[in-house]
Copies of this chain bind each other. A is one copy, B any other.
Amino acid sequence: MVVSETKIQVLYADTDQMGYVYYGNFAKYYEHARTELLKKLGFSYKELESRGYGMPLLSLNINYRKPAYYDDTLTIKAILREKPTRKITFDYETYNQAGQLLNTATTELILTRLDNRKPTLPPYWYNEIFSKHFEK
Give residues in A with beta carbon < 8 Å to B.
9, 11-20, 22-28, 31-32, 35, 44-46, 49, 54, 56-64, 67, 70-71, 114, 117
Contact = CB atoms under 8 A, between A and B. Distances in A.
A34 to B, nearest CB: 10
A70 B56 contact: no
Given A57-B23, A60-B23, A15 B16 contact: yes
Contacts of A62: 57, 59-61
A83 B19 CA distance: 28
Contact of A61 (B46, B54, B60): B60
A64 B11 CA distance: 20
Contacts of A114: 18
